[in-house]
Chains A and B, each alone.
Chain A
Amino acid sequence: MVDTLEVSVWRGGENGEFKTYTVPARESQTVLDIVTYIQRRLDPSLSYRFACRVGVCGSCAMTVNGKARWTCRTHARLVVEDGKLEIGPLRNFPVVKDLATDMREFFDKWAKAQGNFKPTTTRHEEFATVKPSDKKRKQATAAIECIGCGVCYSSCDVVAWNKDYLGPAALNRAWTLINDVRDNGNDERLKAVAGDAGCHACHSTQMCQERCPKHLSPTASIAGLKRATASALLKGKL
């Protein structure tokens, strides 16, 4: 007799509900395996996102028993409680359908924080030489591995309380560019990340850091932005 799991999955849009499926409990399976099983064998109408299945793309992020996680890197045995599992779409994102969310605002905020590189040189000039041991480069390196999966944004209470808040991912990316000596856009970028919709809204609850699958710390990056914007204000550059 195969052991089974009772899996509640969110179905529908914003006003949907949880539907329960019975899934065989295998020795070695990820939460993504479970979602895939449901869609292929039990209910083909289930909508969900995934791509690489191996923990490099970030597409499969969902809310598992209340916490935002990459489902392909979440071993079912580690999260199942009393034979039960609850899978929902990421918090703080509008639901498109079932487990798929609308990520437009997330990326719009990325752009609002000016999370894009502004070059200073052309192909005709020499390469910039930046030592990896350089202090600014170290700070950028510590934050650069973000792949925009949305787990931090989903885990942040300030995002839930403040609709305008740019969020941990966008601010983290801005910080990497503030520290990029090749970049030219910092005067404008600092203005974009400061304020009650920007870095100053962060309360350092560190839920972003706690949940980031790449073990980044947006809290630290945002603290850096607070220092940088205050410095700019005192120098009259803000």
Chain B
Amino acid sequence: MERSVNSHRAHRNHATYWAFVLHRVSGVVLALFLPVHFYMLSMSITDAARFDTFIGWTDMPLVKFAEAGLVVLLALHLTGGLRLLALEFLPWRDWQKSAVALGSGLSLIIGLVYLLYGA
């Protein structure tokens, strides 16, 4: 029988735990995305016609939204990673939780900037 029926959420409901989850998920998604990104770049040279079709495809709102999502994941992974680098290499400070908040905020901003101006 389950050891603790009501409390799986409770013991993990902590900012730095979620930072870890997001860092892991964003990392895996980015690892899957990169080959696609490289493939499209290659195609842009070798097969211009196909690339134009692809680029037309990227003008669709859904694709733009997915692209922005990827940028958010990238920013999340980056800022989460910076938090880890600071934690591992700099003298210990108690601002880790604030760093998580700052990182998430910055990531969202970067994603929004991309969505509004870059996509």
- In angstroms, Cα B20 to Cα A68, docked, is 20
Contacting residues, chain A, for B5 (C-beta < 8 A): 18, 86
Query: Are A10 and B88 neighbours in the complex by a CB distance under 8 Å?
Result: no
> How far apart sit A204 and B96, CA to CA, in the bound complex (Å)?
10
| B92 beta carbon closer than 8 Å to chain A | yes
- Is A223 among interface residues, defined by CB-CB distance under 8 A? yes
Per the bound structure, the CA–CA distance linking A115 and B84 in Å amounts to 26
For A219, the chain B residues whose CB sits under 8 A away are 87
Main secondary structure of the interface of B (DSSP, over half): helix
Residue of B at shortest CB range from A222? Answer: B88
Q: Is A65 an interface residue (CB 8 A)?
A: yes
In the complex, which range does the number of interface residues on chain A fall in? Answer: 20 to 34
Q: Are B17 and A205 in touch, CB under 8 angstroms?
A: yes
Taking CB atoms, residues of chain A closer than 8 Å to B92 are: 142, 217, 220, 223
- Cα(A206)–Cα(B91), bound, Å: 16
Q: A66 near B7 (CB under 8 angstroms)?
A: yes
**In the complex, how many residues of chain B place their beta carbon closer than 8 angstroms to a beta carbon of chain A?**
22
Q: Taking the complex as formed, is B46 at the interface, i.e. its CB lies under 8 A from any CB of chain A?
A: no
Bound Cα distance from A17 to B3, whole angstroms? 8
Query: Closest CB of chain A to B88's CB: distance in Å?
Result: 5
Closest B residue to A87 by beta carbon equals B4
Q: Is B1 a contact partner of A88 (Cβ separation < 8 A)?
A: no
A63-B14 in contact (CB<8A)? no
Do A206 and B16 touch across chains, with their CB atoms under 8 A apart?
yes
Tell me how far the C-beta of A139 lies from the nearest C-beta in chain B, rounded to whole angstroms.
9
The 0/1 profile, CB within 8 Å of A marked 1, for residues 19-30 of chain B is 110000000000
**Residue ranges of B at the interface with A (Cβ–Cβ < 8 Å):** 1, 3-12, 14, 16-17, 19-20, 84, 87-89, 92, 96
What are 18 A-B pairs with beta-carbon distances under 8 A? A16-B1, A63-B4, A66-B6, A67-B10, A67-B11, A86-B5, A86-B7, A157-B12, A203-B20, A204-B84, A205-B20, A206-B16, A206-B17, A206-B96, A207-B12, A207-B17, A217-B92, A227-B89
- What is the interface of chain A, defined by CB distance below 8 A to chain B? 10, 15-18, 63, 65-68, 86, 88-89, 91, 142, 155, 157, 203-207, 210, 217, 219-220, 223, 226-227
